[in-house]
Structure 1
Amino acid sequence: METIIREGSPKTPFVRLDGDNGVVEIKGRSIPENSVDFYKPIIDWLEKFGGEPSDETNVNIQLEYFNTSSSKCILDIFKRLELIHKKGNPVEINWYYEEDDEDMFEAGEDYQSIISIPFKMIEMEE
């Protein structure tokens, strides 16, 4: 499966989608002009990946900030991953947050309460 790497910018996160190794990474800030346009290729990739997922999928989310429209797209990503998980292919979600960032910690908890995949909450020192 094709690996996709998108370099981050001041408004968009770094993204790595590696189907051969079962890795999904999203890092940085997510405040794109149009979140749906930015995240659509990622969601499309996950739909294809869901047809032939890796034995295990590791998801690393390390966002310092995201806007409301990005939050909906991120939820859509988690819903695609949930479908993979429900098919019996393990998915591990690592949600990284800075030690003083209660908002980002709570955002991870909120997603975890919606999605039936356990999150590993990982505190990072600033």
Structure 2
Amino acid sequence: MRNLFIEGSRDTYFTPQVELNAKTGICSITGESYLEEPFEFYEKISAWFSEFFNEDDKNLQLDLKLTYFNTSSSRAILEMLRVLKDHKDEGKDVTVNWYYPDPDDEEILMEGEDFMEESGLEINMIEYEMEEEM
């Protein structure tokens, strides 16, 4: 199985950076998600997760550190989290960490809590300090 890497970009649409490591099971999605075809984008990630769990009994950790996402991306992210919930329900070891900037941005925190409630997947809420952009 191969790693999946998608370079983040901020062109007409914003694409988050995606790093899915097949060997370690440590995965991350970071940046902004404002995509023309968000379901197609996140379906590739969900398919990678399914292939990962079909290979053998591995642990998967997904770190989500999104600073912005539009409504259609939000729906696609929720579907991706539901796929992970299905794998967890099948006995797979899935950890999801939702990073939100401290302490002012309650919106990102609330979005993570909504994802947890709507997907039924346990998500760890982790506060971090925003780095100042130069």
Taking structure 1 as the reference length, what is the TM-score of the superposition? 0.91
| Structure 2 equivalent of residue 80 of structure 1 | 83
Displaced runs of 4 or more, over 3 A = none
In the alignment, residue 113 of structure 1 is paired with which amino acid?
E
2:41 alignment partner, one of 29, 38, 41: 38
Whose radius of gyration is greater, 1 or 2? 2
In the alignment, residue 79 of structure 1 is paired with which amino acid?
R
**Alpha carbons 2:53, 2:92 under 8 Å: kept:** no
Distance (Å, rounded) in 2 between the aligned partners of 1:37 and 1:91 = 23
Distance (Å, rounded) in 2 between the aligned partners of 1:79 and 1:53 = 20
Q: CA RMSD in A?
A: 1.4
| Structure 2 equivalent of residue 16 of structure 1 | 19
Q: Secondary structure at the match of 1:28?
A: strand
**Alpha carbons 2:82, 2:121 under 8 Å: kept:** no
Q: Secondary structure at the match of 1:25?
A: strand
- Within 5 Å, which residues of 2 pair with 1:1-126? 1-10=1-10, 11-52=14-55, 54-99=57-102, 100-126=104-130
**Alpha carbons 2:43, 2:80 under 8 Å: kept:** no
Uncovered stretches (5+) of structure 1, i.e. residues with no partner: none
Taking structure 2 as the reference length, what is the TM-score of the superposition? 0.86
Distance (Å, rounded) in 1 between the aligned partners of 2:88 and 2:22 = 15
Percent of pairs identical after alignment? 37
Paired residues in the alignment total 126
Q: CA deviation at 1:54?
A: 4.5
